[in-house]
Structure 1
Amino acid sequence: MTAAPRSAGGTGGPGAGAARLVSLVRRGDTASRVAVAGVPLCAAGLAVAFRGPGRAHWRTLALTHGALGLAASVVEPAARHRPVTKDDLATAFRIGAGMFLAGALLDMPARRAVPRLAADATALRALTATTDPVRMCAHLLLVVAPAEELFWRGLVQGRLTRRLGAGRAAAMTTVLYALAHLPTGNAAVTGAATGLGGGLSLLRARGAGLERLALVHAFWVVPTLLAERVRGTDAVPRRRDDEGDGAASGGRTAPPAPYDHTAADQEGRSMRTTPREGRTGRTVTRWSRFVQLANNAAHIALYEGTGGRLGTRMLGNRVGILTTRRPRDGQPYSVPLFTFADGPDVIVVASYRGSAGHPRWYRNLLADPDAVLRVGDRVRPVRARVLDADERAAAWRHVVRRFQGYEEYQRRTTREIPLVRLSPRPEHD
C-alpha cells in the first residue's frame, strides 16, 4: 500500500519540518539555502553593529540588513513588496501605534522585574545619539524595516510555512528572530525583538502583506528609538571631546589619558552611592548566567577574530579581554571588561551589574592575581591589586564619569563594588 502524500501544511512537527527544509537545501533549493545561511549572517551583522564602533552602528545595520533583503527579493519573488495603499498606511499606523503604547506601558514594570534592562536601555539610548536623527530614521524607514520583513517574514517564514504550516512557521520564525538578536549583548534589544517579531510573524500568518508589515515595523521602531533619544538628551550629559567612541579610526584609538588623582580628590561631591535599604543585590538566575556567558563568548570571538579591530570600543570606552585562571582546575577564564587607563596601569570594575556576589573573574584574581590583558592588538601579562578605600574614592569618580551605569549598579547592591588595578607584570616573573 502506498502512503498518501502529506499536505503542504505538514503534520510532522517542527523537527520533521526542519529536516525537510534541510533536505530541500541539499537538493539545491536556492531560496532555502539563502534562508538558512542568512540567519547566522543576520546575527553576525547585529553583533558587529552593536559591538563595533558606535558611529558606524546605523550604517552597519543598513548595509547588512539591506544585503539580506535584496537577496531575499532575488531568490523569492513572492517576498517582493507590492505598492503601498492608503489602507496599508492607515492599518499599519494603528497597529504600530498600539504596539508602541503597549511597549511604553510595559517598560517600567519590565525594568523593575529585570534590573539589567535599565542599563541595556541606557546603552541603546547612547547609540541613538551617535548619528543625526533624520539619518537614523532614514536608515530605519527606507532600509532596515523593509529589508527585515523581506528576509524574515517573506523568505524565512515563507519557506517554513510550506513545510510546517502557518502557525508553526510563525512560532519558529519568532524564535529564530529572537536568537539572531542575542549576539547584540543587549537584553532590552533582544526582548523588544522577540515581542516585535512575534507580532509581525502572527500578522503574516494571518495573511498580512509584507508592505504592511514593513510599515508596522517602521511605525513602531522609529518612535520608540526617537523617544529613547529624547530621554538620553534630557538625562545623560554629553561626553567630552576626548571621550569619543573612536569610530573615525575604525574603533582603534589611543587609550584615554590618565585621570588626575588630585583633581578627583578636590571634587565637591562623592560619587559613591548609598545602597537601597533591604536589598542585597541583583539575583543571577541560571538563564541570565547562560545569556551572559553566550554574550561574552560572542564578544570575545569577534574581538579576537578581528585582531581587536571590532569590539574594542563600547559607549565611548575601551574594552579589554581579561583572562584569569580558575583556582579549581587552572583553566583560563576570559571576560570582556571596560578598561580605564591610569598611566601604565589599567583600572577595571567588578560590578557584575549590581549583583549580590562578586563576578567570577574577580574571585579568580583573589586566588591568583596574575592574569593576561588584551586591549586591541596588544597582549600583556598583568598583576592585579584591589584598590584600598582612599584609592577607590578617587578612581570611582573617574569611572562613573566615563560610564554612569556603575552608579546604578552600586545602588542595586549593598556590596561595595571593588575596583582592581592591573599593573604590567615584571619581566623576570
Structure 2
Amino acid sequence: MRAGARRLASLVRRGDTGSRLAVAGVPVCAAGLALAFRGPSRAHWRTLALTHGALGLAASVVEPSARHRPATRDDVVAAFRVGAGMFVAGTLVDALARRAVPRLAADATALRALAATAGPVRMCAHLLLVVAPAEELFWRGLVQGRLTRRLGAGRAAAVTTLLYGLAHVPAGNAAVTGAATGLGGGLSVLRARGASLERLALVHAFWVVPTLLGERARRAGGPPRGRGASHRPYDHTAADQEDPGMTTKPREGRTGRPVTRWSRFVQLANNAVHVALYERTGGRLGTRMLGNQVGILTTVRPRDGQPYSVPLFTFADGPDVIVVASYRGSAGHPTWYRNLLADPDAVLRVGDRVRAVRARVLEGDERAASWRHVVRRFEGYAEYQRRTTREIPLVRLSPRPEHD
C-alpha cells in the first residue's frame, strides 16, 4: 500500500499535465457524484453532465489518444452485443444481490426515484451525449492510459476499476457503487484488450440506458412512496408476466397498475434469464426468492400450441400447489393464466422435480382461506390487490392422474 502511494506521488511529481489531471480528476469525479446524488434531486442529471463533461473535455485536450474519432458501424454492432450481454448479466446479478443484501433493495428504490427526476428523453440525452462518452474519455482514455504506461495493461485495468468504484462511494448508494464497479471492470478489461474509446462509450450507454429505463419502469409499478411505503425489492422475476391487455373478461371498468412496453420488455427478459438459469442448473439456482419457493410453470399457448414458461411463487398445500395470477396489480390477467383457462393441463418444475399438473381456479371460501395463507407468506400480494379493481385469481395445481 505504501509502495503504491509512493509510486503515485512520484508519478505526480514527474508527470506532465495529463498525469496531474488524471490524479486530481478522481476526487473531482467523486465530489461530482456526491453532489449529484446527495444534492437536490431536480439538479441530479445537470450536475452529472457538468462535472463529468468537464473532466471528459479536459481529458480530450491533454491526452491525444483520447481524442474523438467517428464511431463506425462495426463499433455500434459490437457495442450493442457487448452492452446487451452486460445488461442481461447485470440484471441477473442485481436480482441475486438484492435478495442477499437488504440494503441494496432500499438503495435501488432511491435510484428509481432519481431515474424519474427527469423525463426519459432528457435522461437518455444526458447519458448518451455527455455522461457515457465523458466518463470513457477520462477513465479509460486518460486514467487507464497513463496507468498502462507505468503498470502494464492488466494492472492498469485492475487499478482503474478500483478507482472507478471508489469514486462512486461518496454517492452513498451501495447499488450504484456495486453496479459502477462491475461496469467499470468490464470496460477496463475491454480497453486493455484494445477496444476504442468510441466503442466503450457505446457499450457504456447500451448498458446504463436500459438499466435506468428499467428502474423507471419498476418505479411506475412499485409500491407507493411516503410514510409506511414498503422497501421490499421489486419482484420482477417471480411475479406474473406478459401483456395486461390479454384479459378473460371485458376490461371496461377495470383499473390497475399501468404497464409500459418497456417494463414489459424488461420483465420478459428477466423471465427468460430466470427460466434458463433455473432449468440448466436443475433448480439449484433461482429456486427461492424473498423467502418463498419459486417454480417454473409451463403452459401451452392456444394460438400456436407452443410452450410458455414463467417463474412463479409456489405455495404448497398438501400434494397440491397454489399460484397467484397477480401481475403486480395490473388491470388484466397474465398470459399464463389465460393459457390455463384454455387448457388446464400444464407442467410444473420445483427444484429438480418435474410433474404434470392440472389447474383449477379457486372460488368462494376456498379462495379466501388460500388468499390469507399466501398473503402471510408474501405481503406484496395484498398491495397488488389494492392496486387493481379485479379480483386476483388463485390457481390450484394438482398432480395429473396417471391414466391421463
Partner Cα separation in structure 2 for residue 96 and residue 84 of structure 1:
16
Partner in structure 2 of residue 83 of structure 1: 70
1:329-369 CA-partner distances (Å, limit 9, x unpaired): xxxxxxxxxxxxxxxxxxxxxxxxxxxxxxxxxxxxxxxxx
Work out which of the residue numbers 191, 198, 205 in structure 2 matches 1:218: 205
Q: Which amino acid aligns with 2:112?
A: R
Deviation at residue 23 of structure 1 after TM alignment: 2.2
Residue-by-residue CA offset, 1:184-210 (whole Å, 9 max, x unaligned): 110000000010000000000000000
Could you tell me how far 1:22 is from its partner in structure 2?
Answer: 2.7
Q: TM-score, normalised by structure 1?
A: 0.52
The aligned counterpart of 2:52 is 65
Partner of 2:156: 169
Q: Do the aligned residues in 1 keep the contact of 2:148 with 2:155 (CA within 8 Å)?
A: yes
Task: Letter of the 1:31 partner, please give it.
Answer: G
Aligned partners of 1:145 and 1:218 also within 8 Å: yes
CA contact (8 A) 1:17 1:164 kept: no
Structure 1 residues 15 and 77, CA, compared in 2 at 3 Å: closer, same or farther?
A: farther
1:16 CA displacement: 5.4
State the alpha-carbon separation in 2 of the partners of residues 164 and 29 from structure 1: 17
1:117 matched to 2:111? The reply is no
Mapping for residues 123-134 of structure 1, pairs under 5 Å: 123-134=110-121
- CA separation of 1:135 and 1:90: change in aligned 2, threshold 3 A: same
TM-superposition CA deviations, 1:49-89 (whole Å, max 9, x none): 00000010000000000000001001111111221000000
Contact 1:21 1:160 (C-alpha < 8 Å) held by counterparts: no
- The reply on whether 1:229 has 2:216 as its aligned counterpart is yes
Alignment of 1:406-417 (within 5 A): none
Pair 1:154–1:272, CA change in 2 (3 A): closer
User: Is the CA contact (8 Å cut-off) linking 2:139 and 2:160 kept in structure 1?
Assistant: yes
Q: Shift in Å at residue 238 of structure 1?
A: 7.0
Is this contact kept in 2: 1:17–1:163, CA < 8 A? no
Deviation at 1:17, TM superposition (A): 6.3
2:136 maps to 1:149: yes
Give SS of 2:69's match: coil
What amino acid sits opposite 1:102 in the alignment? A
Per-residue deviation, 1:20? 4.1
What is aligned with 2:146? 159
Query: In structure 2, what is the Cα distance between the partners aligned to 1:161 and 1:209?
Result: 15
State the shift of 1:18 in Å.
Answer: 5.5
Answer 1 or 2: higher relative contact order, Cα 8 Å, separation at least 6.
1
What does the per-residue CA deviation read over 1:121-147, in whole Å, with 9 as the maximum and x for residues that have no partner?
A: 000000011111100000000000000
Contact 1:21/1:163 (<8 A) preserved: no
After superposition, where does 1:3-402 map in structure 2 within 5 Å? 19-237=6-224
Partners in 2 of 1:99 and 1:28 — Cα distance?
35
Distance 1:54 1:272 in 2: 20
Measure, in 2, the Cα distance between the counterparts of 1:171 and 1:105.
23
2:274 corresponding residue in structure 1 = none
Q: How far apart, in 1, do the equivalents of 2:194 and 2:6 lie?
A: 26
Question: Secondary structure at 2:30's aligned position in 1?
Answer: helix
Separation of aligned partners in 2, 1:152 and 1:236: 37
Per-residue deviation, 1:236: 4.2
What are structure 1's unaligned runs of at least 5 residues?
A: 1-13, 240-258, 260-270, 276-406, 409-429
1:84 match: secondary structure: coil
* Equivalent in the alignment of 1:253: none
Contact 2:223/2:229 (8 A) holds in 1: no
Instruction: Choose 229-238 or 170-179, whichever is displaced more.
Output: 229-238
The superposition leaves residues 94-118 of structure 1 with CA deviations (integer Å, 9 ceiling, x where unpaired) of 0000000111112221111111000
Equivalent-residue separation in structure 2 for 1:164 and 1:15 (angstroms): 16
SS of alignment partner, residue 108 of structure 1: helix
Distance, in Å, in 2 between the alignment partners of 1:180 and 1:56 is: 20
Amino acid at match of 1:103: G
Task: Describe the SS at the equivalent of 1:208.
Answer: coil
- For the 8 Å contact 1:20–1:163, the answer to whether it is kept is no
Q: Give the letter for the 2:151 counterpart.
A: L
Change (3 A) 1:95 1:132: same
CA distance in 1, matches of 2:99, 2:191: 32
Specify the code of the residue in structure 2 equivalent to 1:146.
Answer: P
* Counterparts in 2 of 1:28 and 1:109: CA distance versus 1, 3 Å: closer
> In the aligned structure 1, how far is the partner of 2:93 from the partner of 2:14?
46
Matches of 2:50 and 2:229, distance apart in 1? 42
Offset of 1:234 from its aligned partner? 1.5
1:58 is matched by which residue type in structure 2?
Answer: W
Per-residue deviation, 1:272: 10
Q: Give distance in 2, aligned partners of 1:227 and 1:238.
A: 18
Distance 2:154 2:103 in 1: 32
1:207 is paired with a residue whose SS is coil
Q: Which amino acid aligns with 1:152?
A: W
- Output the amino acid matched with 1:137: C
- Could you say what secondary structure the match of 1:40 adopts? helix
Instruction: Note if contact 1:97-1:219 (Cα within 8 Å) is conserved in structure 2.
Output: yes
8 Å contact 2:157–2:192 — kept in the other structure? yes
The verdict on how the C-alpha distance between 1:16 and 1:104 changes in structure 2, with shifts beyond 3 A counting, is same
How far apart, CA to CA, are the structure 2 residues paired with 1:141 and 1:191?
A: 21
